[in-house]
């Protein structure tokens, strides 16, 4: 079984990018305090995909608190010097926003709701 659940705060704003095929990918780091040693913190690299990635990028920012559920993944690649680099991260499958004021400032797509429409505006 490969299952990770953690609650923490983002150490910086999430980084959202899109693959060549248009898939959203979001990377961020979650700071999680150790339960009995408040002065010790683990920094967990996280990666989310698709709608989860877009939600995290749109609603969380540096310092935001969230709970994540996912699986641990280890991958490797060769760096520019030809050395193999191993990366351990959590692939986020679910996220819960915690705390207040989570939404970043965005233009409200529904702000025009309630404006009057003339009969001339209706296409039929």
Homologous superfamily of the 4-121 domain (CATH): Nucleic acid-binding proteins (2.40.50.140)
What span, in angstroms and rounded, lies between the C-alpha atoms of 15 and 56?
A: 9
- Please report the pLDDT score of residue 24 as a whole number: 96
**pLDDT tens, position by position, 17-55:** 999 999 999 999 999 998 886 689 999 999 999 999 999
Measured on CA atoms in the order 57, 63, 67, 69, is the torsion positive or negative?
positive
Q: Is the pTM of this model over 0.85?
A: no
What is the pLDDT confidence band of residue 107, given thresholds at 50, 70 and 90?
very low
Task: Specify the DSSP element, H or E, that contains 17.
Answer: strand 15-18
Give me the residue spans of the domains in the chain: 4-121
């Amino acid at each position: 079984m490969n299952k990770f659940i953690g609650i923490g705060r983002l150490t910086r704003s999430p980084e959202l990018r899109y693959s060549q095929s248009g898939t959203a990918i979001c990377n961020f780091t979650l700071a999680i305090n150790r339960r009995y040693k408040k002065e010790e913190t683990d920094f967990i690299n996280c990666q989310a995909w698709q709608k989860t990635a877009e939600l995290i990028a749109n609603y969380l920012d540096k310092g935001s608190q969230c709970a994540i559920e996912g699986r641990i993944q280890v991958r490797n690649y060769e760096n520019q010097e030809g050395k193999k680099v191993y990366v351990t991260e959590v692939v986020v499958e679910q996220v819960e926003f915690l705390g207040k004021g989570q939404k970043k400032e965005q233009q409200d797509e529904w702000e025009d709701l309630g404006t009057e429409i003339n009969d001339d505006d209706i296409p039929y």
